[in-house]
């Protein structure tokens, strides 16, 4: 009798099922990926994220979708889910290998360590698969990360993603001389350290937007802004000699809205004079040979307490003013010393807001507003200066209000032709309003003033913060308020 017959007799004729060989750690990891809820979540999260990222990348590069939130989803959110899914998979393997989940086949895990035996065909297959998937995943993350980096550094990202907060600044940026310069080139500049600082600060700003805990309006000047020598001077060279530049100012009045008043001023921009090798003019303040420092008395820097000037020979002079004589918001709270640079005069170099009266006068000068309409300048100023509850209300009422004011002014002389001219003028005025006023952000005409010149000197802005004949040294030397220092009549 054969051995098989003897075995059947011993087991009562029932053949026992073949024993399932115990799974090694490789097999256990694969089992955890496909047969456990946690592993399936990891695989599904990774796969879905990759597919959606590839679709988003294709749509964005083909220009089929123009939406900042769609780009943020593709380049910022989905990569995070992909990485999370990739982390869940090995975690599921670890959990399963520790018997946190019961093996449905009852097989015991025998290999307690991950052993790679390249002479084993199964191990070679697993290793090739692991390396291939790793290369694919790294390639995908590299492409998405590269595109995401450029997206987060783009003006589109800065101005559109946080639309409510940044819309005023983005609108001004798009019509500025720096419209072709990326925001990061001025707000961050070159170098890794400032890039990291900016991104960390950005996280705080995102949290502020999500919790609706941000300033209205956005304060100016920007705190902790990188020195202009690291940003502005990458393109603008203070050593270059500009000499004098003639600037022409046109203005109208309510009494005479047809003939503009013209004023020409020769500005002493200066720089390093090639004939004398001296630094002169307005740009003397940012000369490499001279260091000008000042101690502001308020956060807006509209009140200056002490000015310190260090000459090329090392001589230092301090000009002070009695802080009790300084007026203005926040006067008296001394802040940190600041080294003067471009931003101290050009405080709104890109985000320039129009002045209400100047916008109306520009409309008259460019014939966007018909000068022949009686009282159009006065009425135009009135409708722009009116308090509208929202921008939508301004869209609905501004032109209509202008037509009503003009109809009342014209009386019987009001004609259909006049109405068409008034509507055209209203459209121009509305454009100015939409470029400069955001009631929800508490931004009105004149909210952001400039330090260039002294048009707003009565509110502490401009050159006269220091050039006021009041800052003086202990020996009585003063910072003069001499007009000829900065400009004179054109020759």
Q: If you average pLDDT over residues 241-266, what whole number do you get?
A: 92
Q: Measured between alpha carbons, how far is 71 from 159 in angstroms, rounded to an integer? A: 13
> Tens digits of per-residue pLDDT, 150-161?
888 888 888 888
Read off the pLDDT band of 478 (50, 70, 90): very high
**Which of 190-194, 269-273, 323-327, 386-390 shows the highest mean pLDDT?**
386-390
Q: Measured between alpha carbons, how far is 39 from 200 in angstroms, rounded to an integer? A: 33
**Cβ 185 vs Cβ 231: under 8 Å:** yes
Closest CA to 23 of 136, 106, 132, 120: 106
Q: Is 60 exceeded by the pLDDT of residue 99?
A: no
The DSSP-derived string for 150-176 is HHHTSHHHHHHTTHHHHHHHHHHHHTS
Q: What Rg do the C-alpha atoms of the chain give, in angstroms?
A: 35
> Tens digits of per-residue pLDDT, 345-369?
999 888 989 999 999 999 999 999 9
Per domain, the residue ranges of the chain are 25-152, 155-218, 234-350+466-488, 356-441
**Cβ 65 vs Cβ 75: under 8 Å:** no
DSSP-assigned beta bridge partners for residue 443: 438
* Triad 22, 26, 32: Cα angle to 5°: 90
Beta pairing, strands 304-310 & 261-272: unpaired
Q: At what angle do helices 391-410 and 376-385 cross, to 10 degrees?
A: 150
Confidence at residue 240, expressed as pLDDT on a 0 to 100 scale: 86
DSSP-assigned beta bridge partners for residue 438: 443
Q: Measured between alpha carbons, how far is 171 from 162 in angstroms, rounded to an integer? A: 13
DSSP SS3 for 471: coil
In whole numbers, what is the pLDDT of the chain averaged over residues? 85
Q: If you average pLDDT over residues 402-411, what whole number do you get?
A: 91
Task: Report H helices in 62-162.
Answer: 68-72, 78-97, 121-152, 155-160
Q: Show contacts of 388-394: CB within 8 Å, 24+ apart.
A: 388/437, 388/439, 389/439, 390/439, 390/440, 391/433, 391/434, 391/437, 391/438, 391/439, 391/440, 394/430, 394/433, 394/434, 394/437
Confidence at residue 104, expressed as pLDDT on a 0 to 100 scale: 43
The two most distant CA atoms of the chain are separated, in Å, by: 131
Q: What percent of the chain has pLDDT over 70?
A: 87
Confidence at residue 98, expressed as pLDDT on a 0 to 100 scale: 64
DSSP-assigned beta bridge partners for residue 304: 296
> Tens digits of per-residue pLDDT, 120-160?
777 788 788 888 988 999 999 999 999 988 888 888 888 88
Closest CA to 356 of 455, 263, 451: 455
Mean pLDDT is lowest, of 32-36, 150-154, 288-292, 435-439, for 32-36
Q: Measured between alpha carbons, how far is 251 from 81 in angstroms, rounded to an integer? A: 58
Q: If you average pLDDT over residues 421-434, what whole number do you get?
A: 96
Contacts of 51 (CB under 8 A, 6+ apart): none
Confidence at residue 324, expressed as pLDDT on a 0 to 100 scale: 54
Q: Measured between alpha carbons, how far is 327 from 16 in angstroms, rounded to an integer? A: 100
Q: Is 90 exceeded by the pLDDT of residue 22?
A: no
pTM for this one? Answer: 0.79
Q: Measured between alpha carbons, how far is 428 from 424 in angstroms, rounded to an integer? A: 7
Closest CA to 178 of 218, 102, 116, 231: 231
Read off the pLDDT band of 108 (50, 70, 90): very low
Read off the pLDDT band of 329 (50, 70, 90): low
Q: Measured between alpha carbons, how far is 131 from 147 in angstroms, rounded to an integer? A: 24
199: how many CB neighbours lie within 10 A of its CB? 11
10 Å CB burial of residue 90 (0-12, 13-18, 19+) is middle
> Element (H or E) spanning 199, and its range?
helix 192-210
Q: Measured between alpha carbons, how far is 356 from 285 in angstroms, rounded to an integer? A: 30
Q: Is 90 exceeded by the pLDDT of residue 53?
A: yes
198: how many CB neighbours lie within 10 A of its CB? 17
C-alpha of 38 from chain center:
40
Mean pLDDT is lowest, of 11-25, 55-69, 437-451, for 11-25
Backbone angles phi, psi at 147, to 5 degrees: -65, -35
Q: If you average pLDDT over residues 405-430, what whole number do you get?
A: 89
């Amino acid at each position: 009798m054969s051995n098989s017959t003897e075995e059947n007799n011993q087991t009562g004729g029932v053949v026992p099922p073949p024993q399932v060989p115990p799974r090694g750690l490789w097999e256990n990891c694969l089992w955890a990926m496909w047969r456990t809820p946690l592993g399936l979540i990891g695989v599904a999260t990774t796969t879905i994220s990759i597919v959606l990222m590839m679709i988003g990348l294709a749509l964005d590069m083909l220009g089929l979708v123009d939406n900042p939130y769609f780009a943020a989803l593709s380049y910022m959110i989905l990569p995070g889910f992909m990485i999370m899914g990739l982390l869940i998979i090995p975690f599921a393997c670890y959990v399963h290998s520790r018997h946190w989940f019961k093996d449905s086949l009852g097989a015991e895990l025998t290999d307690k360590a991950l052993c790679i035996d390249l002479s084993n065909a199964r191990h070679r297959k697993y290793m090739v698969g692991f390396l291939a998937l790793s290369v694919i995943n790294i390639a995908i993350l590299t492409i998405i990360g590269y595109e995401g980096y450029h997206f987060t550094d783009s003006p589109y990202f800065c101005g559109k993603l946080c639309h409510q907060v940044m819309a005023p600044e983005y609108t001004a940026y798009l019509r500025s001389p720096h419209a072709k310069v990326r925001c990061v080139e001025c707000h961050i500049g070159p170098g890794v350290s400032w890039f990291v600082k900016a991104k960390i600060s950005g996280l705080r700003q995102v949290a502020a937007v999500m919790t609706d805990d941000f300033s209205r309006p956005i304060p100016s000047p920007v705190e902790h802004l990188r020195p202009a020598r690291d940003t502005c001077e990458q393109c603008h060279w203070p050593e270059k000699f500009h000499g004098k530049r003639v600037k022409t100012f046109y203005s109208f009045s309510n009494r005479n809205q047809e003939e503009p008043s013209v004023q020409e001023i020769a500005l002493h921009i200066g720089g390093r004079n090639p004939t004398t090798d001296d630094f002169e003019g307005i740009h003397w303040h940012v000369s490499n040979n001279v260091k000008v420092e000042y101690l502001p008395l308020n956060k807006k820097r509209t009140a200056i307490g002490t000015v310190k000037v260090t000459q090329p020979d090392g001589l230092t002079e301090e000009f002070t003013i009695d802080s009790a004589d300084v007026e203005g918001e926040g006067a008296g709270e001394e802040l940190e010393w600041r080294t003067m640079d471009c931003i101290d005069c050009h405080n709104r170099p890109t985000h320039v807001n129009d002045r209400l009266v100047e916008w109306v006068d520009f409309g008259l000068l460019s014939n966007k507003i018909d000068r022949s309409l009686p009282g159009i300048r006065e009425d135009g100023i009135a409708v722009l200066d009116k308090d509208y509850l929202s921008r939508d209300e301004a869209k609905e009422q501004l032109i209509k209000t202008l037509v009503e004011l003009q109809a009342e002014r014209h009386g019987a002389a009001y004609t259909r032709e006049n109405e068409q001219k008034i509507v055209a003028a209203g459209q121009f005025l509305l454009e100015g309003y939409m470029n400069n006023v955001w009631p929800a952000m508490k931004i009105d005409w004149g909210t952001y003033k400039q330090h260039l010149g002294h048009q707003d000197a009565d509110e502490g802005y401009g050159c006269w913060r220091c050039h006021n004949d009041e800052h003086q040294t202990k020996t009585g030397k003063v910072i003069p308020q001499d007009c000829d220092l900065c400009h004179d009549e054109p020759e």
